[in-house]
Chain A
Amino acid sequence: MPKPVLSLHKLDAHYGDFQALFGVDMDIAAGEVVAIIGANGAGKTTLLRSIAGLLKNQAAQVTYQGDAIGALRADLVAHKGIALVPEGRQLFPSLSVEENLQIGAHTGRAGPWSLDKVYGLFPILKERKDQASTTLSGGQQQMVAIGRALMANPDVILFDEISLGLAPVIIKSIYDVLPNIVGDGMTALIVEQDISKALSVSSRVYCLQEGRVSLTGATNTISRDDITRAYFGVGA
């Protein structure tokens, strides 16, 4: 395996008294697309929030391009080139569609993505650019959320449950554009409950259960039974 661009070392995470992650280790190589799966509450979102800096950890628990970033504030992590497409889309309701995209570019990082390029990817958004973001359909909102993250021209992009609550056609269309996004070398972590979707785009998979990694391996070497067992903790 090449030198990892992003690694987690014994990552713990707490919400007050409650511990959500227990010593998670992970190495992600540049350009890799990795799926993270697990049941509800397994700690997937927590993992992504820890990487993005929304949860504070010890500095050495997360390293990125050789820097210990575990204790860094989220905005500084963003400036370093890690972007998160949050669970449930989380658009800014008081910003228009275009403003939501523009604010994604706040870090001012150079790169291939621009407003035009995002509109090229999701043409429907251009038609709706002055609309309040809350008036879009769920799928369109998900497009804005993805576009917003791309506007930061990140090196690593984290997707949290992009298909949640979306109709199958929409899910399909979003998964159809995913290769265009990660195609030119962007590293991606994809959290997904729809296991087959997740596996279809990723090369490697981690399964979380109760805040611990219960299974990991290359997508093509892992069997459905392994996954189901790791996923629910029971044999199907």
Chain B
Amino acid sequence: MDWISAIVQGTLLGGLYALFAAGLSLIFGVMRLVNIAHGDLIVLAAYMGLSTTVMLGIHPFVALLIVAPAMAGIGYVLQRGILNRTLGDDILPPLLVTFGLSVILQNALLEAYSADPQKMNAGVIETASVPVGGLTLGVLPLLTFAIAVAVIAGLQFIFYRTSLGRAFRATSDNSDIAQLMGLNKAHVFGMAMALALAVTAIAGILLGVRTSFDPSVGGARLIFGFEAVIIGGLGNLWGTLAGGVILGVAQTLGAKIDPGWQLLAGHIAFLVVLAVRPQGLFPRVAH
């Protein structure tokens, strides 16, 4: 039972990681952009949620109605203003620019909100639980997992069933040829970043409800996001969910052996997957 419980909890944790990773996966899949600032953008969203809830006295989930569009706007401007100019075969310019962005975000948040840990109050949902076949599961983790699935299903739908998604895929395949079709690469990438940051807003709000956060906590979660994306395979959103779950389960199982092994087990799972399949488990485009 303990092991089953560990696996279930790990799966739910994987939902959280997948949510962290979903935006990253989109950015990486469409623009091949390694976004070092992603973790800090999640924290930024959490702070925006906090300010909104405090100022308007609304529930954090309602605050999403404001935070998600705001983050999307930030994403669009960021992509068109800065990030588009760093794209190319060389991964260093985006790496360094997003590193700079990450440092700026962290310190600007520190100036604005201080280093105090903050938390958003979502009321009873935070502590509610439901019994499921002998296990007691938190409503919030279940909700997080469900949201992760919904977000990924939504992204998958946009990606594969809409003209915007078609534009994403075409521009990602070959941006020059996509331009020939009349697609403005800068705008398409801007839209992709906007969508990614809207997802980031969801991740940020859930993070801020789940635990307390301060300006420095973004970086620590970034690496799990990358791992989930890579385990899943480039550009495969369901793969990203699977990657998150693999990481989460590896962590809880590792922790069952010894809590010191929790994070290590996740990383080792990642390395093992890569040793066996360097392109990830479910790459969308086979090479």
**Contacting residues, chain B, for A54 (C-beta < 8 A):** 176, 179-180
In Å, the complex CA distance between A99 and B181 comes to: 12
Which of A74, A76, A92, A148 sits near B173, CB closer than 8 Å? A92
In Å, the complex CA distance between A78 and B180 comes to: 6
Q: Which of B231-251 contact A (CB under 8 A)?
A: 235
Q: A92-B170, A99-B166, A103-B166 are in contact. Are A74 and B285 (CB under 8 A)?
A: no
In Å, the complex CA distance between A105 and B253 comes to: 51
Does any Cβ of B come within 8 Å of A216's Cβ? no
| Chain B 222-235 interface mask (CB, 8 Å, partner A; 1/0) | 00000000000001
Q: Is A74 a contact of B284 with CB atoms below 8 Å? A: no
Q: Quick one: closest B residue to A90, CB to CB?
A: B177
In Å, the complex CA distance between A102 and B161 comes to: 12
| Minimum distance in angstroms from B161 CB to a CB of chain A | 10
| Chain B 76-93 interface mask (CB, 8 Å, partner A; 1/0) | 000000000000000000
How many pairs of residues, A versus B, come closer than 8 Å at their CB atoms? 69
| Chain B 141-179 interface mask (CB, 8 Å, partner A; 1/0) | 000000000000000000000010011011011101111
Q: A94-B284, A94-B285, A95-B166 are in contact. Are A104 and B172 (CB under 8 A)?
A: no
Does any Cβ of B come within 8 Å of A128's Cβ? no
Q: Is B167 a contact of A95 with CB atoms below 8 Å? A: no
**Contacting residues, chain A, for B285 (C-beta < 8 A):** 93-94
In Å, the complex CA distance between A152 and B178 comes to: 12
| Chain B 166-209 interface mask (CB, 8 Å, partner A; 1/0) | 11011011101111111111000000000000000000000000
Does any Cβ of B come within 8 Å of A34's Cβ? no
Q: Using CB atoms and an 8 Å cutoff, list the residues of chain A in contact with chain B.
A: 52-54, 73-76, 78-79, 83-84, 86, 90, 92-95, 99, 102-104, 106-107, 148-149, 152
Extra contacts, 6 of them, besides A74-B180, A75-B182, A78-B181 (Cβ < 8 A), are A94-B169, A94-B173, A95-B166, A102-B163, A103-B166, A148-B181
Q: Using CB atoms and an 8 Å cutoff, list the residues of chain B in contact with chain A.
A: 163, 166-167, 169-170, 172-174, 176-185, 235, 284-285
